Amino acid sequence: MNSVSIIIPVFNEEDVIANCLRACLQQKVLPKEIIVVNNNSTDNTEHIVEHFVASHKKGSLVKTITHKEQGLIGTRNKGFSVAKGDIYARIDADTYIRGDWVKNLQEAFVDPEIMGVSGPVLYYDMPFGKFGLKADLIMRRIVLSLNKKYKFLFGSNMAIRATAWEKIKKKACLDKEDLFHEDIDLSLHLKEANLKIEFVSNLVAGISARRMSSPPREYHNYVKRFSRTYNAHNVKAFGKKTPEYILMSIYPPLHILHKSYEKRLQKKGGVNKVAKRLLQH
Protein backbone atom coordinates (compact mmCIF):
# COMPACT_ATOMS: atom_id res chain seq x y z
CA MET A 1 0.00 0.00 0.00
CA ASN A 2 1.06 3.59 -0.62
CA SER A 3 2.40 5.38 2.45
CA VAL A 4 0.61 8.55 3.56
CA SER A 5 2.06 11.84 4.80
CA ILE A 6 -0.50 14.13 6.42
CA ILE A 7 0.35 17.83 6.05
CA ILE A 8 -1.36 20.36 8.35
CA PRO A 9 -0.65 24.09 7.78
CA VAL A 10 -1.31 26.06 10.98
CA PHE A 11 -1.66 29.71 11.91
CA ASN A 12 -2.99 30.50 15.38
CA GLU A 13 -4.88 27.23 15.85
CA GLU A 14 -4.44 26.68 19.59
CA ASP A 15 -8.11 25.74 20.08
CA VAL A 16 -8.22 22.89 17.55
CA ILE A 17 -4.78 21.50 16.69
CA ALA A 18 -4.52 18.95 19.54
CA ASN A 19 -7.86 17.36 18.61
CA CYS A 20 -6.80 17.23 14.95
CA LEU A 21 -3.55 15.47 15.82
CA ARG A 22 -5.36 13.07 18.15
CA ALA A 23 -7.69 12.01 15.32
CA CYS A 24 -4.70 11.49 13.02
CA LEU A 25 -3.12 9.12 15.54
CA GLN A 26 -6.32 7.17 16.19
CA GLN A 27 -6.39 5.66 12.71
CA LYS A 28 -6.93 1.98 11.99
CA VAL A 29 -3.95 2.34 9.65
CA LEU A 30 -1.42 4.90 10.83
CA PRO A 31 0.09 7.45 8.44
CA LYS A 32 3.82 7.38 7.75
CA GLU A 33 4.12 10.87 9.27
CA ILE A 34 2.14 13.93 10.29
CA ILE A 35 3.78 17.23 9.36
CA VAL A 36 2.60 20.35 11.18
CA VAL A 37 3.79 23.46 9.32
CA ASN A 38 3.68 26.48 11.63
CA ASN A 39 3.19 29.74 9.72
CA ASN A 40 4.20 32.41 12.28
CA SER A 41 1.59 31.56 14.89
CA THR A 42 1.47 34.17 17.65
CA ASP A 43 -0.77 32.23 20.03
CA ASN A 44 -0.06 29.01 21.95
CA THR A 45 -0.19 26.69 18.90
CA GLU A 46 3.51 25.83 18.87
CA HIS A 47 3.62 24.99 22.58
CA ILE A 48 0.48 22.83 22.32
CA VAL A 49 1.95 20.82 19.45
CA GLU A 50 5.24 20.36 21.33
CA HIS A 51 3.40 19.20 24.45
CA PHE A 52 1.24 16.82 22.40
CA VAL A 53 4.30 15.26 20.77
CA ALA A 54 6.09 14.85 24.10
CA SER A 55 3.12 13.37 25.95
CA HIS A 56 1.58 11.10 23.32
CA LYS A 57 2.91 7.56 22.92
CA LYS A 58 2.71 7.85 19.12
CA GLY A 59 3.98 11.43 19.14
CA SER A 60 7.13 10.48 17.23
CA LEU A 61 4.99 10.36 14.06
CA VAL A 62 4.38 14.11 14.37
CA LYS A 63 7.01 16.40 12.86
CA THR A 64 6.94 20.16 13.26
CA ILE A 65 8.51 22.62 10.85
CA THR A 66 8.17 26.36 10.33
CA HIS A 67 7.47 28.53 7.32
CA LYS A 68 8.29 32.21 7.79
CA GLU A 69 6.70 33.80 4.73
CA GLN A 70 3.05 34.43 5.56
CA GLY A 71 0.49 32.59 3.45
CA LEU A 72 -1.32 29.27 3.19
CA ILE A 73 0.05 28.15 -0.17
CA GLY A 74 3.70 28.63 0.73
CA THR A 75 3.05 26.88 4.03
CA ARG A 76 1.38 23.96 2.28
CA ASN A 77 4.21 23.76 -0.25
CA LYS A 78 6.80 23.68 2.55
CA GLY A 79 5.03 20.65 4.00
CA PHE A 80 4.94 18.93 0.61
CA SER A 81 8.64 19.64 0.11
CA VAL A 82 9.69 17.63 3.19
CA ALA A 83 7.05 14.86 3.04
CA LYS A 84 8.38 11.31 2.56
CA GLY A 85 5.14 9.46 1.79
CA ASP A 86 3.78 8.28 -1.55
CA ILE A 87 0.59 10.26 -0.90
CA TYR A 88 0.42 13.84 0.38
CA ALA A 89 -2.78 14.29 2.38
CA ARG A 90 -3.70 17.91 3.12
CA ILE A 91 -6.11 18.77 5.91
CA ASP A 92 -6.80 21.83 8.05
CA ALA A 93 -6.08 22.22 11.74
CA ASP A 94 -9.81 22.06 12.53
CA THR A 95 -10.26 18.79 10.60
CA TYR A 96 -11.16 15.54 12.36
CA ILE A 97 -10.52 12.59 10.08
CA ARG A 98 -12.64 9.49 10.61
CA GLY A 99 -10.87 6.42 12.00
CA ASP A 100 -10.79 4.66 8.63
CA TRP A 101 -9.65 7.75 6.71
CA VAL A 102 -6.02 6.72 6.03
CA LYS A 103 -7.13 3.17 5.17
CA ASN A 104 -9.75 4.44 2.70
CA LEU A 105 -7.25 6.89 1.26
CA GLN A 106 -4.77 4.11 0.57
CA GLU A 107 -7.47 2.01 -1.06
CA ALA A 108 -8.48 4.92 -3.29
CA PHE A 109 -4.93 5.23 -4.59
CA VAL A 110 -4.63 1.52 -5.46
CA ASP A 111 -5.73 2.61 -8.93
CA PRO A 112 -2.44 3.92 -10.41
CA GLU A 113 -4.30 6.37 -12.65
CA ILE A 114 -5.75 8.32 -9.73
CA MET A 115 -3.57 11.32 -8.89
CA GLY A 116 -5.82 13.30 -6.53
CA VAL A 117 -8.84 12.59 -4.32
CA SER A 118 -11.23 14.45 -2.11
CA GLY A 119 -14.15 13.38 0.06
CA PRO A 120 -17.28 14.67 1.81
CA VAL A 121 -17.31 16.61 5.05
CA LEU A 122 -19.45 16.66 8.15
CA TYR A 123 -19.80 19.95 10.04
CA TYR A 124 -19.34 18.88 13.64
CA ASP A 125 -20.17 22.26 15.18
CA MET A 126 -23.57 22.54 13.51
CA PRO A 127 -26.81 20.81 14.56
CA PHE A 128 -28.05 17.76 12.61
CA GLY A 129 -24.48 16.76 11.79
CA LYS A 130 -25.19 13.49 9.95
CA PHE A 131 -27.95 15.15 7.94
CA GLY A 132 -25.36 17.78 7.03
CA LEU A 133 -23.05 15.03 5.74
CA LYS A 134 -25.80 13.76 3.44
CA ALA A 135 -26.49 17.31 2.28
CA ASP A 136 -22.80 17.83 1.57
CA LEU A 137 -22.70 14.63 -0.49
CA ILE A 138 -25.74 15.73 -2.49
CA MET A 139 -24.30 19.20 -3.12
CA ARG A 140 -20.96 17.85 -4.33
CA ARG A 141 -22.65 15.34 -6.62
CA ILE A 142 -24.76 18.12 -8.12
CA VAL A 143 -21.65 20.20 -8.78
CA LEU A 144 -19.89 17.18 -10.30
CA SER A 145 -22.88 16.36 -12.52
CA LEU A 146 -23.11 19.95 -13.78
CA ASN A 147 -19.44 20.09 -14.58
CA LYS A 148 -18.17 16.66 -15.61
CA LYS A 149 -15.06 18.12 -17.23
CA TYR A 150 -13.62 19.31 -13.91
CA LYS A 151 -13.39 17.48 -10.58
CA PHE A 152 -12.19 19.54 -7.69
CA LEU A 153 -10.23 18.94 -4.51
CA PHE A 154 -11.45 20.29 -1.18
CA GLY A 155 -8.62 21.64 0.98
CA SER A 156 -9.92 20.37 4.32
CA ASN A 157 -10.14 16.79 3.07
CA MET A 158 -7.88 15.98 0.11
CA ALA A 159 -4.76 14.19 -1.05
CA ILE A 160 -2.54 14.03 -4.11
CA ARG A 161 0.04 11.54 -5.24
CA ALA A 162 3.65 12.64 -4.62
CA THR A 163 4.49 12.02 -8.27
CA ALA A 164 1.60 14.26 -9.33
CA TRP A 165 2.90 17.09 -7.15
CA GLU A 166 6.32 16.77 -8.77
CA LYS A 167 4.69 17.26 -12.18
CA ILE A 168 2.69 20.39 -11.29
CA LYS A 169 4.53 22.10 -8.44
CA LYS A 170 6.31 24.62 -10.68
CA LYS A 171 3.02 25.60 -12.30
CA ALA A 172 0.83 25.77 -9.18
CA CYS A 173 0.01 29.39 -8.37
CA LEU A 174 1.72 30.96 -5.36
CA ASP A 175 -1.12 33.52 -5.05
CA LYS A 176 0.80 35.92 -2.81
CA GLU A 177 -2.13 38.35 -2.87
CA ASP A 178 -4.34 35.61 -1.37
CA LEU A 179 -7.13 35.86 -3.94
CA PHE A 180 -7.73 32.24 -4.98
CA HIS A 181 -8.92 28.93 -3.61
CA GLU A 182 -5.64 27.02 -3.36
CA ASP A 183 -7.38 23.63 -3.62
CA ILE A 184 -9.19 24.57 -6.85
CA ASP A 185 -5.94 25.94 -8.22
CA LEU A 186 -4.31 22.56 -7.58
CA SER A 187 -7.24 20.81 -9.24
CA LEU A 188 -6.99 22.95 -12.36
CA HIS A 189 -3.26 22.31 -12.71
CA LEU A 190 -3.84 18.57 -12.31
CA LYS A 191 -6.50 18.77 -15.02
CA GLU A 192 -4.13 20.75 -17.26
CA ALA A 193 -1.57 17.95 -16.88
CA ASN A 194 -4.24 15.31 -17.68
CA LEU A 195 -3.96 13.84 -14.18
CA LYS A 196 -7.07 12.12 -12.81
CA ILE A 197 -9.00 13.36 -9.76
CA GLU A 198 -11.73 11.34 -8.04
CA PHE A 199 -14.36 12.06 -5.42
CA VAL A 200 -14.29 9.28 -2.79
CA SER A 201 -17.54 9.08 -0.85
CA ASN A 202 -16.15 7.04 2.08
CA LEU A 203 -13.26 9.47 2.69
CA VAL A 204 -15.15 11.30 5.43
CA ALA A 205 -13.77 14.14 7.54
CA GLY A 206 -15.32 16.45 10.08
CA ILE A 207 -14.63 20.17 9.85
CA SER A 208 -15.74 23.31 11.61
CA ALA A 209 -18.39 25.56 10.09
CA ARG A 210 -16.61 28.54 11.67
CA ARG A 211 -16.54 30.24 8.26
CA MET A 212 -20.28 30.79 8.74
CA SER A 213 -19.54 33.09 11.67
CA SER A 214 -17.62 35.48 9.42
CA PRO A 215 -19.05 38.98 8.89
CA PRO A 216 -21.00 39.33 5.60
CA ARG A 217 -18.33 41.31 3.74
CA GLU A 218 -15.59 38.84 4.73
CA TYR A 219 -17.75 35.86 3.77
CA HIS A 220 -18.65 37.39 0.40
CA ASN A 221 -14.97 37.95 -0.36
CA TYR A 222 -14.28 34.31 0.52
CA VAL A 223 -17.02 33.08 -1.82
CA LYS A 224 -15.73 35.23 -4.69
CA ARG A 225 -12.48 33.25 -4.56
CA PHE A 226 -14.23 30.73 -6.83
CA SER A 227 -14.70 33.24 -9.66
CA ARG A 228 -11.26 34.75 -9.20
CA THR A 229 -9.62 31.31 -9.41
CA TYR A 230 -11.62 30.21 -12.46
CA ASN A 231 -11.08 33.51 -14.28
CA ALA A 232 -7.34 33.49 -13.60
CA HIS A 233 -7.19 30.08 -15.31
CA ASN A 234 -9.59 31.01 -18.14
CA VAL A 235 -12.00 28.27 -17.16
CA LYS A 236 -15.18 28.28 -19.21
CA ALA A 237 -17.41 25.55 -17.86
CA PHE A 238 -21.11 25.12 -17.33
CA GLY A 239 -22.03 25.25 -13.65
CA LYS A 240 -18.80 26.87 -12.50
CA LYS A 241 -20.74 29.48 -10.51
CA THR A 242 -22.94 26.88 -8.79
CA PRO A 243 -20.78 26.69 -5.61
CA GLU A 244 -20.98 30.48 -5.24
CA TYR A 245 -24.76 30.49 -5.58
CA ILE A 246 -25.12 27.68 -3.06
CA LEU A 247 -22.75 29.24 -0.51
CA MET A 248 -24.34 32.67 -0.72
CA SER A 249 -27.86 31.27 -0.36
CA ILE A 250 -27.08 29.23 2.76
CA TYR A 251 -25.11 31.95 4.54
CA PRO A 252 -27.92 33.97 6.23
CA PRO A 253 -29.61 31.08 8.08
CA LEU A 254 -26.38 29.21 8.84
CA HIS A 255 -24.66 32.37 10.09
CA ILE A 256 -27.33 32.71 12.77
CA LEU A 257 -27.52 28.97 13.46
CA HIS A 258 -23.77 28.52 13.90
CA LYS A 259 -23.44 31.36 16.37
CA SER A 260 -26.27 30.03 18.52
CA TYR A 261 -25.14 26.40 18.33
CA GLU A 262 -21.61 27.23 19.50
CA LYS A 263 -23.06 28.12 22.89
CA ARG A 264 -24.83 24.77 23.17
CA LEU A 265 -21.78 22.67 22.32
CA GLN A 266 -20.25 22.90 25.80
CA LYS A 267 -23.42 21.48 27.31
CA LYS A 268 -23.06 18.50 24.98
CA GLY A 269 -19.52 17.78 26.14
CA GLY A 270 -17.59 20.12 23.86
CA VAL A 271 -16.55 19.98 20.23
CA ASN A 272 -14.20 17.01 20.59
CA LYS A 273 -16.82 14.71 22.11
CA VAL A 274 -19.48 15.71 19.58
CA ALA A 275 -17.11 15.31 16.62
CA LYS A 276 -16.00 11.83 17.71
CA ARG A 277 -19.61 10.69 18.12
CA LEU A 278 -20.70 12.05 14.73
CA LEU A 279 -17.74 10.51 12.89
CA GLN A 280 -18.41 7.00 14.17
CA HIS A 281 -19.88 4.63 11.57
Q: What is the dihedral of CA 260, 262, 268, 272, to 10 degrees?
A: 160
Q: What is the CATH number of the domain that holds 247?
A: 3.90.550.10
Q: What is the mean pLDDT of residues 125-151?
A: 70
Q: What is the mean pLDDT of residues 41-56?
A: 96
What tens digit of pLDDT does each residue of 180-232 get?
Answer: 999 999 999 999 999 999 999 899 999 888 898 999 999 999 999 999 999 99
Rounded to the nearest angstrom, the gap between the alpha carbon of residue 120 and the centroid of all alpha carbons in its chain is 10
What tens digit of pLDDT does each residue of 70-86 get?
Answer: 999 999 999 999 999 99
pLDDT at 269 over 60: no
The CA distance from 13 to 64, in Å, is 14
How far lies 26's CA from each of 21, 82, 104, 206, 207, in Å?
9, 23, 14, 14, 17
pLDDT at 262 over 80: no
Supply the pTM of this predicted model: 0.91
The CA distance from 160 to 200, in Å, is 13
Q: What does the pLDDT read at residue 254?
A: 84
Quote the domain boundaries for residue 72: 4-278
- What does pLDDT average to over the chain? 89
The more confident residue out of 87 and 227 is 87
pLDDT at 45 over 90: yes
Query: 6-10, 99-103, 184-188, 263-267 — which is least confidently predicted?
Result: 263-267
Q: What does the pLDDT read at residue 238?
A: 59
Q: To the nearest whole percent, how much of the chain has pLDDT over 70? A: 86
Domains in the chain: how many in total? 1
The more confident residue out of 244 and 87 is 87
pLDDT at 147 over 70: no
